Amino acid sequence: MTRLRTRLLPHLLFGAGTALFSLGIGHAAPPTAPFIADLHKHTLLTSSIPADGDENPYALIVAPVTSGRVKAGDVLFDNFNNRKNFQGTGTTIMQYDPTTRATRLFANVPADLKACPGGVGLTTAMTMLKSGDIVVGSMPSKDGTTATLGQGCLIVLDSNGKIISTITDPQINGPWGNIAVIDQGDTATLFISNIGFGMGAPGTPDQHKATVLRLVLNTQAGQAPTIASSTVIASGFSAIADASAFAVGPTGLALGADGTLYVSDGVANRIVAIKDAATRTTSAGTGVVVTTGGLLKRPLAMAMAPNGDLLAINALNGQVVEIDPQTGTQRGARWIDADEAQSPPGSGDLFGIALMPDGTGFYYVQDDTNTLMAASR
């Protein structure tokens, strides 16, 4: 439900939190100021609501290439709820042009897409490939709750918004978190969290079955992607049904320069590291804990800042947290949604995050106002 937005608290909070493990490349003191320290402007860019009334924006990506109706730098974002505010039923992807400030509907996926088990409910799992194709996850519901949860799939659209294929696999079940990707043109390696395994209605015991899947696709312009290989590289994460949040599980995925994949473990309120994510042949379990507690309040989507730090969006307040992934130090947090209609302010409002191409800030989406936002200097 859309809520009235109130005043913004723009200050930066500093606090180390709890750093549990160093990956062995630590340093005595951070060489630069926190990336978020200079991000004082918070700008409303556009509404996320299309003509059909979908709401609750989730996924957020910046186009890496120009193809079809999409220009490099355009922002694509999807909706998880339909106009009745039922979760797991959103079908629309929106497109925003930062140059012209124009917003348009990019795609409206059929709610009863037969090739996707259970139908369509677009999630935070979305990316655009160098081929021009857009891959988006579906974790569908029939009634807005996990009691009617479907297995879901990955839906592939071309750069004109036309569905060209769906990707299903026994290891794909509730593709949920933001996708990390290594794109080499003819092939693309996608890292996707899957939280649907064993999930039932709210109150169902945690099965600890959520995974991170490495999916290698053959990707060539003009041809539908095909699966080259699929490997579970992390497993055993908690994932629970939640009456207000729909589901809680591993959501944020971000790749470090050394090939380490960082994962936000929302139920455990921590960030973990999966070493050798692109090459490992076995599961790393739940990985190595980088940091836990402190400023983290159920971390969701993540992005890698230009200075090499992680940015993690909180679900239980309106803050973004900056973390040094090498030492686990929580370098600070900034309020980006302080809507006092929730307690704590901004709780339940934030989902996706994506860096601006020039590295001067980031885009994010807000559920309380159903808007695309920008944090900048």
In order of start, what are the domains of the chain with their CATH numbers? 12-376 (2.120.10.30)
- pLDDT of amino acid 220: 82
Looking at every residue in the chain, the average pLDDT score rounds to 93
| Calpha distance 118→143 (Å, rounded) | 11
Is the preceding omega at residue 50 within 30 degrees of 0, hence cis? Answer: no
Q: Per-residue pLDDT averaged across 295-309, rounded?
A: 97
Whole-angstrom distance, CA of residue 333 vs CA of residue 245: 22
Predicted pLDDT at 5: 41
Residue 245 contacts residue 314 (beta carbons within 8 Å) = no
Q: Report yes or no: 101 and 45 within 8 Å, Cβ to Cβ.
A: yes
Task: Give the per-residue pLDDT at 324.
Answer: 98
- Cα separation, 312 vs 269, in Å, equals 11
pTM, rounded to two decimals: 0.93
157: CB partners within 8 A, 6+ apart: 93, 107, 109, 133, 134, 136, 163, 164
pLDDT digits (tens, 9 = 90+) for 175-223: 999 999 999 999 999 999 999 999 999 999 999 999 999 999 999 878 8
User: Looking at residue 21, what is its pLDDT?
Assistant: 43
- pLDDT single digits (tens) 4-59: 344 344 455 655 444 444 343 344 444 689 999 999 999 999 999 999 999 999 99
Predicted local distance difference test score (pLDDT) of residue 28: 46
* Mean pLDDT, residues 131-135: 97
Q: In whole angstroms, what is the distance from residue 85 CA to residue 260 CA? A: 37
